Amino acid sequence: MFILTAGFINTPAQESSFPLIPKPEKTEWLEGKFSFSRNTGIACSDKVLQEYFISQVNALTGVKLNSGAASPAVIVLNLTKEKMDAEEYKLSITEKRAEITASSKEGLFRGMQTFFQLIPPAAKAGKNNSSVEMHCVNLSDKPRFSHRGLNLDCGRHFMSKDFIKRYIDILAYYKFNTFHWHLTEDQGWRIEIKKYPNLTKVGAWRKESDGSIYGGFYTQDDIKEIVAYAQSRYINIIPEIEMPGHSLASLASYPENSCTGGPFEPTNLFGVFNDIYCAGNEGTYKFLQDVLDEVIALFPGKYVHIGGDEAPKIRWKECPKCQAKIKAEGLKDEHELQSYFIKRMASYLTSKGKTVIGWDEVLQGGLAPGIIVQSWQSFEGAVDAAKQGHYVVCSPASHTYLNGSPENLDLRIAYSFEPVPPELNKEEAKYIMGGEVNLWTERAPQETVDSKLFPRILALAEVFWSDPKGRSYDEFYSRLQSYYPDMTALGIEYGQGSKVLNVNTSYDGKEKSFIIKADVTQSNVEVRYAIDKPLDNNSALYKEPFKINGTNTVQIGTFRNGRSLGDAVGLSFVFHKALNSKITLSTQYNERYRASGPEALIDGVRGSADFRDGCWQGYEGVDLDCVIDLGEEKEISTVAPRFFLDANSWIFLPSHVEISLSKDNVNYSDTKTVVNDTDQKTSDIIQKDFKASFGKAAARYIKVKAIGLKQCPEWHPYAGGKAWLMADEIVVE
Ligand SMILES: [Zn+2]
């Protein structure tokens, strides 16, 4: 990888102490230092790029370079006639001179970012330096993939104009070239469309569960400003206008485009919703074409994304207009109707000179040529699309959905992402344009975006740009460690790359108390906890395991430099007779929702209103069947297992629960059946106890059998799909 000759210093340790992310193709660290100050002359044949360079260096360090003709140029931005790739550049820094060379402005721009990264973090943090020293280096570089993007969901949470501009700078700094702007959702419509003012008057605002109004939108002037800003940073913006699904905010604004006629509201819930654009209504096509006309006029880039994912067909099945369209067009079913819909909208955009991108569901029912597929469900869509000759943006949820917790998608998994699936031969592999990082914002308002994306986005920046040969996770990890000060200097409020905090609880039967023990996997973090009050950076510092003697709530989380790493867990404890018992499960929970493991149902820790809190144990498509062994006969008056209902997340209460008692684990008597009396057809999120009373029975063994739905019911958008049963504490009194 490195050429070692006299004068070069290329040991791994030195390399990682001058971090660059993504890793350049060839780097030769040289002896010596280069320094610049306000007297340092700069020259570039392109005055716009020169101005940008001067203003960025000034913003980062406080040094304003001298563009006056009187001072000889020491920093040279050189647009060469030499043949180079579009984004390729060379950078040479010696004691006397710094020069960036490229054959295009874009290449020069990418090279400038490397120069900015090489400015030491200490100089960036100061921002009022009189001069800045940089290490000498010689490097050449170009990207592996032409498409390197971030998809930011501004539908579920609105992000301000300044925040978007800040992210365009951040993307540029790490050599991304694409900002995929998810502008419409069930929860909000974010782009002003002059012809349809209700889209932003009605569709941009939702009522939260506490009654407050949440929302916002970008005016067409805002969008023009952002587009111009992105162009000056060589970032292409891809607007996404979702259809036919994820369209509730649009339908709330213009209910005539739905199958039922509404009324609707932009929702404050998250999930997949049944009401989508009516595909049988000619008015819907007219509406969407008008919307796209304004979108096209605002976004000069090549691509428009039209979504196409997660569109339930339940309304289309019942809609006379949709059924008539199926007949008239000779289509087989609602899936072919979706294909018809997508093809029709795609051909409209194609006729306007745009290239269309859709999520991998657009492959179903056949796809017109020329459409780019963004695969998200797995690698399968990418493989199918490439084999059919479609270009592909590869962004599987497993590796690129950074809204997921670092517990499931950590830095190592992100870094292991290979956008070209091994099933593709060399010719087919050419259809993989690159990848995207995705941030869906159900649980990510603007102020948390940095901590969700960083540091994991840096692993993906490197995957998209750098040659996989000569890369290793361990080397990247060590390079990243010296990169944290750089992020801090840039004001990036990074979160975790992997799970930092592990909390264990155990029950001490003698002392009748819970013992809480915390372990962290990183140095330089503090663990703090609060009992029966909110957690903040002044809460008690965790030093050793502590005890809880009452039915308390404990918040525990990690902090770095006084800032929460966003991993706080809330534990609420319940004392009962089955603590420290044995439990035998005859059905198996899904590992994704294992909670604290086999003992989770009797560990004394209660699940919260969030089924992802690590306390709920999930059974996918199976019943829960278990036996608790109390170790000795005890007097039992009630047994109350708790279950979770969130139909939008495919989690249902059991239809009934059978609870019976035994002295010998052979003969069971006293069977009580608790039948569910809650209507499961609801958007409410409910935790419900299925409590059986036994008077004053004596028993050693308790059998609990919860009969789940196993499949999503008929009325559900995913009717027939596997249903979840989520259980937590079986409280025995
Ligand atoms: Zn319809």
CA distances from 674 to 233, 693, 718, 728 (A): 63, 10, 27, 16
How many CB atoms are closer than 10 A to CB 562? 9
Query: How confident is the model at residue 466, as a pLDDT?
Result: 97
Rounded Cα gap, residues 604 and 584, in angstroms: 17
Which carries the bigger pLDDT value, residue 504 or residue 40?
40
pLDDT for position 69:
66
Interval between CA 170 and ligand 1 midpoint (Å): 43
- Distance between Cα 371 and ligand 1 center (Å): 25
CA dihedral 297, 298, 301, 307 (to 10 degrees): -100
Q: Which amino acid is at 273?
A: F
* CA 182 to centroid of ligand 1, rounded, Å: 25
User: Distance from the CA of 350 to the center of ligand 1, in angstroms?
Assistant: 25
Ligand 1: distance of its center to the CA of 284 in Å?
10
Expressed in angstroms and rounded, the spacing between residue 367 Cα and the centre of ligand 1 is 22
Instruction: Return left, alpha or beta for 479; rule: phi > 0 is left, psi -120 to 50 is alpha, else beta.
Output: alpha
Contacts of 47 (CB under 8 A, 6+ apart): none
Of 112, 73, 67, whose CA–CA distance to 89 is shortest? 112
Report how far ligand 1's centroid is from the alpha carbon of 334 (Å): 10
What spacing in Å lies between the alpha carbon of 293 and ligand 1's midpoint?
23
Q: How far is 15 from 218, CA to CA, in rounded Å? A: 43
Q: What is the mean pLDDT of residues 610-633?
A: 92
- Phi/psi at 674 (nearest 5 deg)? -105, 115
Q: What is the CA(250)–ligand 1 centre distance, in A?
A: 15
Q: What is the 3-state secondary structure (H, E, C) of 205-220?
A: EEECCCCCEEECCECH
Centre of ligand 1 to C-alpha 317, Å, is 8
Is residue 1's pLDDT more than 50?
A: no
Q: What is the distance in A from the centroid of ligand 1 to the CA of 198?
A: 21
Instruction: Write the CA distances from 288 to 243, 284, 337, 367, integer angstroms.
Output: 9, 6, 16, 19
Mean pLDDT throughout 227-246? 98
Partners of 620 in the beta sheet?
Answer: 724
Can you tell me the distance from the alpha carbon of 529 to that of 515, in angstroms, rounded to the nearest whole number?
13
Instruction: Indicate if the pLDDT at residue 6 is higher than 60.
Output: no
Using DSSP's 3-state secondary structure scheme, residue 593 falls into helix
Helices 220-232 & 161-173 angle (0-180, nearest 10): 20
Helical (H) or strand (E) element with 227? helix 220-232
Using CA atoms, how far apart are residues 574 and 642, in angstroms rounded to an integer? 13
Three-class HEC string of 148-186:
EEEEEECCCCCCCHHHHHHHHHHHHHCCCCEEEEECEEC
pLDDT score recorded for residue 618: 93
For residue 693, the SS3 value is strand
Q: How far is the CA of 183 from the centre of ligand 1 (A)?
A: 24
How many angstroms separate the alpha carbon of residue 682 from the centre of ligand 1?
A: 23
- Say if residues 147 and 435 touch (Cβ distance below 8 Å): yes
Task: For residues 600-623, give the mean pLDDT.
Answer: 90
Q: Per-residue confidence at 70, pLDDT binned at 50, 70, 90?
A: low
pLDDT at 502: 83
Supply the pLDDT for residue 405: 81
The rounded Å distance from CA 479 to ligand 1 centre is 55
> How distant, in Å, are the alpha carbons of 499, 534, 547, 706 from that of 542?
18, 15, 12, 39
Give distance in angstroms: CA of 450 to centre of ligand 1.
40
Ligand 1 centroid vs 264 CA: distance in angstroms?
A: 15
Segment 153-172, tens digit of pLDDT: 999 999 999 999 999 999 99
CA angle 642, 643, 646 (to 5 degrees): 150
CA of 282 to the centre of ligand 1 (A): 10
For residue 617, how many C-alpha atoms fall within 13 Å in the half-sphere facing its CB?
27
Gap from CA of 306 to ligand 1 centroid (Å)? 19
The pLDDT of residue 561: 82
Amino acid identity for residue 642 in this structure:
R
Residues forming beta bridges with residue 731, ordered by sequence position: 640
Q: Which secondary structure element, helix H or strand E, spans residue 510, and what is its range? A: none
Distance from residue 340's CA to the centre of ligand 1 (Å) = 13
Is the pLDDT at 4 greater than 50? The verdict is no
- Residue 321 CA, ligand 1 centroid: distance in Å: 5
- Close Cβ partners of 290 (under 8 Å, ≥ 6 residues apart): 193, 195, 196
Tokens standing for residue 108? 């020069």
Contact 503, 571 (CB under 8 A): yes
714 Cα to the center of ligand 1, angstroms: 19
CA of 356 to the centre of ligand 1 (A): 24
d(CA 333, ligand 1 centre) in Å: 13
Q: Where are the beta strands (DSSP E) in 253-377?
A: 303-307, 355-359, 372-375
**Above pLDDT 70, what percent of the chain?**
97
Ligand 1 midpoint to CA 342 (Å): 15
Cα separations in angstroms, 15 against 339, 465, 476, 487: 51, 18, 11, 18
Sign of CA dihedral 50, 53, 56, 61: negative
Report how far ligand 1's centroid is from the alpha carbon of 415 (Å): 44
Position 567 confidence tier, pLDDT thresholds 50, 70, 90: confident
Distance 322 CA to ligand 1 centre (A): 4
pLDDT of residue 538: 94
Average pLDDT score over residue span 522-541:
91
**What is the distance in A from the centroid of ligand 1 to the CA of 587?**
42
Chain centroid offset of residue 264 CA: 28
Q: How far is the CA of 260 from the centre of ligand 1 (A)?
A: 7
How many angstroms separate the alpha carbon of residue 382 from the centre of ligand 1? 30
Distance 257 CA to ligand 1 centre (A): 8
- Residue 328 Cα to ligand 1 midpoint, Å, equals 14
For residue 238, how far is its CA from the centre of ligand 1 (angstroms)? 29
Report how far ligand 1's centroid is from the alpha carbon of 215 (Å): 28
CA of 281 to the centre of ligand 1 (A): 6
Local confidence band at 299 (pLDDT 50, 70, 90 cut-offs): very high
Q: What distance in angstroms lies between residue 234's CA and the mean position of ligand 1's atoms? A: 41
How do residues 414-431 score in pLDDT, each as one tens digit?
999 999 999 999 999 999
Ligand 1 centre and the CA of 330: distance in Å? 16
Long-range contacts of 587-590 (CB under 8 A, 24+ apart): 587/619, 587/622, 587/623, 587/624, 587/625, 587/626, 588/619, 588/622, 589/617, 589/618, 589/619, 590/618, 590/619, 590/620, 590/724
Instruction: Tell how far the Cα of 704 is from the centroid of ligand 1, in angstroms.
Output: 45
Crossing angle for the helix pair 105-118 and 47-61, to the nearest 10 degrees: 20
Provide the pLDDT for residue 17.
54
CA of 326 to the centre of ligand 1 (A): 10
**Number of neighbours of residue 521 by Cβ within 10 angstroms:** 12
What is the CA(285)–ligand 1 centre distance, in A? 12
Rounded Cα–Cα distance for residues 168 and 234 (Å): 9
Average pLDDT over the chain reads 92
What does the pLDDT look like over 476-524, one tens digit per residue?
998 998 888 899 999 999 988 887 888 888 899 888 899 999 988 777 7
Measure the CA–CA gap between 177 and 162, rounded to whole angstroms. 19
Q: 266 CA distance to ligand 1 centroid (A)?
A: 19
Q: How far apart are CA 47 and CA 645, in angstroms?
A: 61
Euclidean distance between the first and the last CA atom of the chain, given in angstroms as a whole number: 67
CA-based torsion, 34, 40, 41, 47: positive or negative: positive
Centre of ligand 1 from the C-alpha of residue 280, in Å: 5
Query: How far, in Å, is the centroid of ligand 1 from the Cα of 324?
Result: 9
Task: Please give the distance, rounded to the nearest whole angstrom, from the Cα atom of residue 251 to the centre of ligand 1.
Answer: 12
C-beta separation of 693 from 674 below 8 A: no
Tokens 């008057």 correspond to 201
Ligand 1 centroid to 296 CA: how many Å? 26
Checking if the pLDDT of 48 tops 90, the result is yes
Distance of CA 196 from the midpoint of ligand 1 (Å): 21
Region 19-35: mean pLDDT is: 92
Q: Are 158 and 216 in contact (CB under 8 A)?
A: yes
pLDDT of residue 411: 93
- Asked if the model's pLDDT at residue 245 lies above 90, the reply is yes
CA of 277 from ligand 1 middle (Å) equals: 7
Instruction: Using the predicted structure, report yes or no on whether residue 696 has a pLDDT greater than 80.
Output: yes
What's the 139 CA to ligand 1 centre distance in angstroms? 58
pLDDT(642) > 90: yes
Tell me the per-residue pLDDT of 82-110, one tens digit each, with 9 for 90 and over: 999 999 999 999 999 999 999 999 999 99
Tell me the CA–centroid distance for residue 307 and ligand 1, in Å.
Answer: 19
Instruction: For residue 725, list its beta bridge partners.
Output: 619
Whole-number Å distance, alpha carbon 332 to ligand 1 midpoint, is: 16
219 token code pair: 């005016």
State how far the Cα of 113 lies from the Cα of 461, in Å rounded to an integer: 13
CA of 308 to the centre of ligand 1 (A): 16
